[in-house]
Chains A and B, each alone.
Chain A
Amino acid sequence: MAPKPRPHRTSAASLALSPALIAIASVAFLLRAAVGRHGYSGRATPPLFGDLEAQRHWLEITWHLPPSQWYHYDQKFWGLDYPPLTAFVSYVFGAIAHFIEPSWVALDKSRGNEDPSLIAYMRLSVLICDLLVYFPAALFFVRSLRLPWRSANITAWALILSFPGLILIDHGHFQYNLIMLGLTLASVAWMTTGHPLKAAFTFSLALMFKQMSLYFALPVFVYLLAQCWQSNHGIRLFFQLGVVVLATFALHIYPFRADLGQLVHRIFPIARGLYEDKVANVWCALSPVLKLRDRFALTTLLRMSLATTILASLPSLIGLFRHPTRYTLLAALAAVSLAFFLFSFQVHEKSILLPDLPILLLLVVDRIADNPRWCVWAHVLNVSTFSMWPLLRRDGQAVPYFVLLALWNGGVWWKSRGTCAACPRTGGVVGMVYQLAVVAVYAAAAAIHIAEFAIAPPARYPHLYVLANQVLSCGVFLSAYAATTILAISPPTESTKPKIKRA
């Protein structure tokens, strides 16, 4: 029997920033700025460069061309393939860039411009988005937990802001995932404090920023549906939600109404295949034994991956519908996004950031409730950062990778020996197996890192270390998928409900 979430107002006073929160935010800002001094995706690699050039190119085309051209213009050179909100944000930054220095975004002529000031401007744009979207969303989520202790708030805030994977990809590799994740974070906070309409609105914005947030769409839909189901005015709420979502979508795609087919075609590039690069999902991990890509037609693969994804998502969705609480919502978000990551079509290694968000929130909730389960999430997050190592190394982010992991783990495990030792107590044999598995995974990861530096891979298997990395990570993600699914379908008992205890 899940208690119906009561709406409550967060007053301005309770949102006031304490010195501790400001200090943590400042350090988080420093880490982001310092990571930005290292390499980025596609540095000095003409003619295509990388993600930074893609994003810069979008500033250029959105500022100079009418919207009707945005999804058509020269698709061979980083054609726009994100939903409209990304394009709108690009337009704003393109306008500012044009005001500062027109040559940064000159149409066609600015391609491959690697002026240090331009790079600094692009870095600054990510920082600004972070400060405007992710930081406030994190603060809002922490407030929505309504933690009575100052120290618990500080822990939650620090954990959410300093997760290395997100910093390394957005401020190192260069992307704007934090806008999508920040909007999702706000949406979760609104859902769990009884504001379904606002939650639906912010989540629609996330969808309109990056189609990747479809990973979260099913649990969000099911949670809101369950709220309608339990509400006395369920039908009315359902229609209200529908109107909010459809209106938000309509507003975004209105400028492109003439050619919606092209928009959809650009956003869902089915032709790009089951997977492109090496990625820690099931299809890629199976590839050494089972050459699926060569054996089946594209449509067969598409159907196959769709079916397995849905099938893998179903249990946690049913569990969520039956018990729509904050904890099952987070568990279902993690389980479904992991299912999408592991089984769906066209997955990128960076997409692990999506499961990372709910897992990070599970870590926060469990760490504060002093539930020994929190160390599981810490391990999974470490492995997820590890799974992005090949990418980060290529980008010249090796030093930040190690430094941020060390810093974050130093913070996570600081003064925690007592709690983590509680893990084996979850059951004799299970606990033992778990401890062994943790040690084995870290040992294997360390071995892969060391081998990569010390020994060149054999000529026959040039991608041996990358593959080893992805197979190891895939195993951990599968276990994490199983764990979160079990948590999502088990009814909330004393142990799964976050009980707040003073440390």
Chain B
Amino acid sequence: MDAAARPPPHAARRRWTSRPHRLHEDPHPTAVQPAKSTDARPKRLLVALFAAATAIKLLLAPGYRSTDFEVHRNWLAITHSLPLNQWYYDATSEWTLDYPPFFAYFEWVLAQVAARVADPAMLVVANLNYASWITVVFQRVSVMVTDGTLLAGLTLFFSASDARDRTSAVAPAGILVLLNAGLLIVDHMHFQYNGFMFGLLLIAMALFHRGRPYLGAFVFAALLNFKHIYLYVAPAVFVYLLSGLCLEDGKWHLTRFVTLGLIVVATFAVSLAPFRDHLPQLALRLFPFKRGLCHAYWAPNVWALYAFVDRAAMTVLPRLLGISTRSVAAMTRGLVGDVEFSVFPNVLPVHTLALTVLAQLPGLVSLWRRPTMSNFVRVLVLCGFAAFLFGWHVHEKAVLTMVLPLGLIVVQSMAVSQLAFVLAVVGSYSLFPLVFEVADVTTRWGLLLSFAALLWLALDGHHRRHSHAAFTLPWPVRAYLGGLFLVEWFVVAGHPILLGDKLLARSWRCVTRWRRPGNAAASGSGQSSLLALVRAPDRKSG
């Protein structure tokens, strides 16, 4: 079972496998006790957390779901009813297939199940917005079941770790990953399959950790073919394998490099070969550079600030200087949100790419020099950060890329714990606008409060046991987190009361709520409808 217990194929491989044990770098190595492979407690705790999370997910199931529910239903229908060569051409629904082939195959598999146990009518391409009771149950349950990869990834990782008390190390990780409020909001309210794919990412990382680099590389390559958003973190994986495996001990291991290359190429081949005649169309669907710099609602990144300042300048400058600015056709208004800033220079995809690579470089250099597991996790998070902050058309959900991998090293030190806590809480909070209906308000509060409190509790328990120090945050950070309460309160109640309905709708349109066309009509009135808590009947969409 345990990779280390098995006789390694060759000596060099064993050295690579010994590397991951630097993960929990301990100042007093003698204090480290050998891991007991029979210890079932961490596994039981993870299973219990997963079961509790599933219970919460079931409670969330009947409530709000976004158009992404219809997106995935449409993909089920496309993959089930159409021949393969039309998957990336069909445009019956506006929610065309824009994930890589493995995800399409995944939908095909789900559709096979759905055709047998659920409602075949959901698999008809023309049945737009079809949502019978059994369709909802099937799709919701499919997310809950495939979330099992998260559990598998954590179990694989932590059953190979050599932390002194794994139960207390596993609790924060399990809570951070399995009960993550952001993930619950995105997958189980808004509706997506992120848990499944982050689970694959964790499995790949766990396999690296257990000394199975080739298998891990295969899983990661497959993950890229599920959802290409993980290209954000691919540089970290590449450098980690290149430096840690192919260049181990300063020697160049060509065979390893070739093996890795073959695995990756083979995986991509399996994924793309059936579509070999349609690759340009595939690329067009997968990389929609015409969609604009910012996504439907702005991800909280650099470009959001940029656009905000631009907008502010646009409002203020004409009055100050008495000049007229260019027409202010909204920067992401319309299907192809051709970005046009009024004051600042326009941003092109190549600019965002350059900035992203620049921001990733320091981390990658550090990883090149010291390819340990812990460094790998950090740099992977950093790559996610760089892409999130500077990338082109970033989705707000990408914030999870920075949060979930941190679960693997969350108890490494107080500093990492603090960082992970703040990032997890703020990251989840940044996803609040995804669930904006009145009935969702208390639920999202409950989700974030429970998540934050449980994470705090678990981190506190771990640090008290291991470093005899309570888990704390510096006061400015505490004040910042407390400020979230004020912002949330202002969004829900203060703003509508102070400024009234119309102003609210307008200001939100300017600040956050840029939605995809067609989205608005389907999903109500965006952030502004929070005020429906206060003013009910006229819930116009923006």
Contacts and interface: CB of A to CB of B under 8 A. Distances in A.
Contacts of B535: 100-101, 117
A35 interface: yes
Q: What class of interface size applies to chain B in its complex with A?
A: 35 or more
A38 interface: yes
A139 to B, nearest CB: 15
A400 B59 contact: yes
A399 B449 CA distance: 23
A115 interface: yes
Interface of B: 48, 51-52, 55-56, 58-63, 437-439, 441-443, 445-447, 449-450, 452-454, 456-457, 460, 532-537, 539
Interface in A28-50: 29-38
B58 A104 contact: no
Contacts of A414: 48
A410 B52 contact: yes
A interface majority secondary structure = helix
Closest 5 CB pairs of A and B: A30-B446, A117-B536, A23-B453, A34-B59, A33-B442
B366 to A, nearest CB: 35
B345 to A, nearest CB: 43
Contacts of A22: 453
A323 interface: no
A59 to B, nearest CB: 14
A233 to B, nearest CB: 46
Interface in A91-109: 100-101, 103-104
A119 interface: yes
Nearest to B442: A33
A33 B184 CA distance: 15
B450 A403 contact: no
B439 A34 contact: no
A120 interface: yes
A410 B56 CA distance: 14
A124 B536 CA distance: 14
B446 A33 contact: yes
A406 B446 contact: no
A315 to B, nearest CB: 41
A414 B460 CA distance: 22
A437 B3 CA distance: 49
A407 B442 contact: no
Contacts of B449: 26, 29-30
Contacts of A32: 446
B442 to A, nearest CB: 4
Interface of A: 19-20, 22-23, 26-27, 29-38, 100-101, 103-104, 115-121, 123-124, 127, 399-400, 403, 406-407, 410, 414
> A35, A37, A410 — which one has the most chain B CB atoms within 10 A of its CB?
A37
A124 to B, nearest CB: 6
A38 to B, nearest CB: 6
16 contacts: A19-B457, A23-B453, A29-B450, A30-B447, A32-B446, A36-B442, A37-B443, A101-B534, A103-B537, A116-B536, A124-B442, A399-B58, A399-B59, A399-B62, A403-B55, A403-B59
A36 B442 CA distance: 9
A503 to B, nearest CB: 17
Contacts of A103: 536-537
Contact of B51 (A101, A116, A410): A410
B529 to A, nearest CB: 9
Given A37-B62, A399-B62, A30 B536 contact: no
B533 A120 contact: yes
A403 B58 contact: yes
Contacts of A19: 453, 456-457, 460
B446 A29 contact: yes
A159 to B, nearest CB: 16
A121 B534 CA distance: 9
Contact of B56 (A26, A30, A119, A124): A30
A104 B438 CA distance: 15
B536 A104 contact: yes
A157 B450 CA distance: 15
B437 to A, nearest CB: 7
Nearest to A402: B58
Contact of B55 (A20, A119, A407): A407
Given A19-B460, A30-B449, A399-B62, 19 more contacts: A26-B450, A26-B454, A30-B56, A33-B442, A33-B445, A34-B59, A34-B446, A37-B439, A100-B533, A101-B534, A103-B536, A115-B536, A117-B438, A120-B441, A120-B533, A124-B442, A399-B61, A403-B59, A407-B52
Contacts of A23: 450, 453-454, 456-457
Contacts of A31: 59, 446
A118 B453 CA distance: 30
B512 to A, nearest CB: 21
B442 A117 contact: no
B454 A101 contact: no
**Interface centre among B48, B55, B62, B536, by most A CB within 10 Å?**
B536
B353 to A, nearest CB: 41
Nearest to A35: B59
A38 B457 contact: no
B439 A123 contact: yes
Contacts of B457: 19-20, 23
Nearest to A29: B446
B413 to A, nearest CB: 20
B152 to A, nearest CB: 21
Nearest to A127: B442
A118 B536 CA distance: 7
Nearest to A34: B59
A36 B61 CA distance: 12
Contacts of A27: 446, 450, 453-454
A103 B450 CA distance: 34
A116 B456 contact: no
B443 A33 contact: yes
Contacts of B437: 116
Contacts of B450: 23, 26-27, 29-30
A34 B56 contact: yes
A119 B453 contact: no
Contacts of B441: 120
Given A23-B456, A29-B450, A410-B52, A115 B59 contact: no
A309 B536 CA distance: 48
Nearest to A37: B63
Most buried by A among B61, B439, B452, B534: B439
Interface centre among A19, A104, A407, A410 (most CB of B within 10 A): A19
A338 B423 CA distance: 51
Given A29-B450, A116-B438, A410-B51, A38 B62 contact: yes
Given A117-B532, A121-B533, A30 B443 contact: yes
Contacts of B63: 37
A37 B450 CA distance: 17
Given A23-B453, A100-B534, A36 B439 contact: yes
